[in-house]
Structure 1
Amino acid sequence: MDFTLSPRIEEFRARIAAFVESEILPVEADRGTWDEHENIGPEALAALRAKAKAAGLWCLQLKPETGGQGLGKVGMAACYTEMNRSIFGPVVFNSAAPDDGNMMVLEALGTPEQKARWLEPIVSGAVRSAFAMTEPHPGGGSDPSMIRTRAERQPDGSWRITGRKWYITGAEDAAHFILIARTSDDPRYGLTAFLFHRDQPGWEIVRRIPIMGPEEHGGHCELAFDGLQIAPDDVLGGEGKGLKVTQVRLGPARLTHCMRWLGLAGRCVEIAQEYAAKREGFGVRLADRESVQLMLGGLAMDIEIGRLLVMRAAWELDQGRFARKEVSMAKVHVANTLHRAADIGIQINGARGYSKDTVLEWIYRYARQARLVDGADEVHRMVLNRHLESEGRGFFAWPTAEA
């Protein structure tokens, strides 16, 4: 495993870093550009997206024939971390959740007709999208086998959807949706993925759920389905292949979260270092206090461990493997590192960190969800234990090249 970046990937990483520094951070610093949900406002976002497109920094994660640059997961890891040095970075480059994961799964599994209708508008930035899987109790959350939203085939071959979803990220602003519903009680082939447009009748947004932290565009919504009709051509991946769709989408999506969170963790360190270097108390700079040095040194180590875990998982995905245990390890470690980085950043900055004079408090509130989204810490640790039980000492084996 050689994580040396190719000159091409390094060029993209450096260009993204420069773009974030010169174009995005000044917009982030101006609270007048924020919307009411503490995200970047539509006018500022449109202007930055136009600049990112003109600079050739748009949808780097997709294949060239889809409109991207085909960087692969290792290249994405390097670039996504740079993007999220700003809290507004990923959405500017069209690399933010949930569009990021939706584009990748549509690229991987969509038919040519589905890509033209459902994928291309997201790639161009004309529309946003959402992934509707999670349900209220007793429906499915981390366990997709519990999904209760049902799709019943009609005499004309279409599907009729009934059920409920919640905490669907981006739903209020989304035009294109991927929906996971039950089409049979088969434990392996009982789920199917469907595509639908927001203007189709038979469903509604019940509410935009208030949350503790800042919100993605379109919020986190509860949806009700009461007769949504979906045509046979809008089945993604084939009937009964919904579990495969979730696997193809959620594994890489969990890892791209980690890539972005490493950028936010690094930003916390940056703000803490800057303040510690100039703030004095009792005749000593904070940066010269051993307690502060221990906090920042330990945090730097945790971030580097996270980088290595993410790169290992990205490399595995680039080899064509699912990398389930590698992604789970990265997800748990990086989510907790982000939470710790925001906490330490606030602690070193004192009252300034708790105020809105920096983005530390924004990151702190955002970071708490990291240990829940795409599988809580405990779920991923259970997954790791299952691998440990089945693989034994092989759990720790190194990948080896063929002779």
Structure 2
Amino acid sequence: MDYTISPEVEGYRARIATFVENRVLPLESDKANYDGHGNIRLDLLDELRAQAKAEGLWCLQLKPETGGAGLGKVGMAVCYEEMNRSIFGPLVFNSSAPDDGNMMVLEAMGTEAQKQRWLEPIVSGQVRSVFAMTEPAPGSGSDPSMMMTRAERDGDVYRITGRKWFITGADGASHFILMARTSNDPRRGLTAFLFHKDTPGWRIIRRIPIMGPEEHGGHCEIEFDGMEVPASDILGGEGRGLKVTQVRLGIARLTHCMRWLGLSKRCVEIAREYAERREGFGVRLADRETVQVMLGDLAMQIEIGRLLVMKAAWELDQGRFAKKEVSMAKVHVANLLHKAADVSIQINGGRGYSADTVLEWIYRYARQARLVDGADEVHKMVLNRHLAEEDRDFWRWDVAGQEG
């Protein structure tokens, strides 16, 4: 692959960098700018979003006809990394989960009527959205075949019963994509449904407390008790739920990695700034070999992560599924984020452990990275499956002009 980026992508990256530096980063240092769950206050977010729209930095990941810039996955990797130099950044540009993945799957698989009703309000920023798949045991987690939420057809409607949990953003969201079982067919047994928050027959049981800062709307446990959804609000067709999850989660896992690289670089930035000015026993921290080794290792691990992410993004731009590449990036970058926060806290000492920097925020947030969108162990099992099927071809080079 060619590692150069286009002048257009570089233009977006540079403008995002300036926007984040001047308008978003300064907000992090004042706790009055946070809501009660550790995220940016919604009134401030609305102001920044209006500014991002006015400067043409809104929903860059979507096609121009949908309201975006049509960047492609490689362009997204460059821009998302820059956005997440700030913990608030991706939200400002409407490029954060779960809306990000929901918009892309609706763009790819929705009918024109569905795009108008369900997608356009998310793109405009009028509403927030949810992807509801994970269930309490013994229901589905990483294995969707274990799904217990059921949708029974009755004429032109489906009646849905079941329970979901750790559903990001459910409290206050308006548009939902819900995965439910419509048959016991192992390949075509799941279906994706669209519903609005005002649809009767469902409720939020609780907003689950977590160790880290929360996305707006929290992580909720929700229950369905006969909720009725018309057949016209099926996304992708009955029995095509697995396809919906593949289309959505493949790129969603990678966009997480793109953003996490930005946070990892921010950790290094904070560590280096402190090491340059902090002295102990007559020596700057930056001049100590142990600190140099710590920072040099992080710089290398971040670059490895960037290469893994860019390879996966390039594969997706070629129209391939990139399952192997996405899994490798997901495992490496998730662990990297936790390490970057930990090392930076260590270099900053008590300051890093305090709330005087965003390091403790990133550290608490980072632990979920190894769980969301597939635990480390699941992705390593996927990689082993590829290894068993491909043998030495697991590491093959693509040859120009040859398929496969």
TM-score interval, smaller chain? over 0.9
CA RMSD, Structure 1 to Structure 2 (Å): 0.5
Deviations 1:10-46 (A, max 9, x none): 0000000000000101122221111000100011101
Helix, strand or coil: the match of 2:389?
helix
| Structural mapping, 1:209-248, within 5 Å | 209-248=208-247
The corresponding residue for 1:401 is 400
Give the deviation of 1:375 after TM superposition: 0.3
For 2:232 and 2:384, the matched residues in 1 are separated by 40
Judge conservation of contact 2:29–2:356 (CA < 8 Å) in 1.
no
For 1:83 and 1:28, the matched residues in 2 are separated by 14
Give the deviation of 1:401 after TM superposition: 1.1
Judge conservation of contact 2:37–2:214 (CA < 8 Å) in 1.
yes
Letter in 2 for 1:38: G
Letter in 1 for 2:13: R
For 1:137 and 1:348, the matched residues in 2 are separated by 40
Give the deviation of 1:399 after TM superposition: 1.6
Judge conservation of contact 2:324–2:382 (CA < 8 Å) in 1.
yes
Helix, strand or coil: the match of 1:180?
strand
For 1:26 and 1:293, the matched residues in 2 are separated by 28
- Is 1:281 equivalent to 2:280 in the alignment? yes
Helix, strand or coil: the match of 2:159?
strand
The corresponding residue for 2:328 is 329
Helix, strand or coil: the match of 1:56?
coil
| TM-score scaled by length of structure 1 | 0.99
Deviations 1:20-78 (A, max 9, x none): 00010112222111100010001110100000000000000000000000000000000
The corresponding residue for 1:255 is 254
Helix, strand or coil: the match of 1:16?
helix
Deviations 1:51-109 (A, max 9, x none): 00000000000000000000000000000000000000000000000000000000000
Judge conservation of contact 2:28–2:358 (CA < 8 Å) in 1.
no
The corresponding residue for 2:28 is 28
The corresponding residue for 1:146 is 146
The corresponding residue for 1:39 is 39
For 2:32 and 2:67, the matched residues in 1 are separated by 32
Judge conservation of contact 2:173–2:197 (CA < 8 Å) in 1.
yes
For 2:63 and 2:182, the matched residues in 1 are separated by 32
Helix, strand or coil: the match of 1:79?
helix
Letter in 1 for 2:66: T
- Is 1:66 equivalent to 2:66 in the alignment? yes
- Is 1:300 equivalent to 2:302 in the alignment? no
For 2:60 and 2:228, the matched residues in 1 are separated by 34
For 1:170 and 1:400, the matched residues in 2 are separated by 44
Deviations 1:109-158 (A, max 9, x none): 0000000000000000000000000000000000000001000000x320
Helix, strand or coil: the match of 2:130?
strand
The corresponding residue for 1:11 is 11
Percent of aligned pairs with the same amino acid: 76
For 1:116 and 1:137, the matched residues in 2 are separated by 36
Letter in 2 for 1:57: L
For 1:130 and 1:28, the matched residues in 2 are separated by 26
Letter in 1 for 2:80: Y
Letter in 2 for 1:66: T
Helix, strand or coil: the match of 1:212?
coil
Helix, strand or coil: the match of 1:303?
helix
Q: How many residues matched? A: 402
| Structural mapping, 1:4-403, within 5 Å | 4-154=4-154, 156-402=155-401
For 1:65 and 1:238, the matched residues in 2 are separated by 23
Judge conservation of contact 1:181–1:192 (CA < 8 Å) in 2.
yes
For 1:391 and 1:215, the matched residues in 2 are separated by 40
Structure 1 runs not aligned, ≥5 long: none
Judge conservation of contact 1:27–1:44 (CA < 8 Å) in 2.
no
Helix, strand or coil: the match of 1:165?
strand
Structure 2 runs not aligned, ≥5 long: none
Helix, strand or coil: the match of 2:206?
strand
Judge conservation of contact 2:191–2:238 (CA < 8 Å) in 1.
yes
Letter in 2 for 1:174: A
For 2:134 and 2:42, the matched residues in 1 are separated by 27
Helix, strand or coil: the match of 2:377?
helix
Judge conservation of contact 1:140–1:147 (CA < 8 Å) in 2.
yes
For 1:285 and 1:21, the matched residues in 2 are separated by 27
For 2:324 and 2:274, the matched residues in 1 are separated by 38
Helix, strand or coil: the match of 1:148?
coil
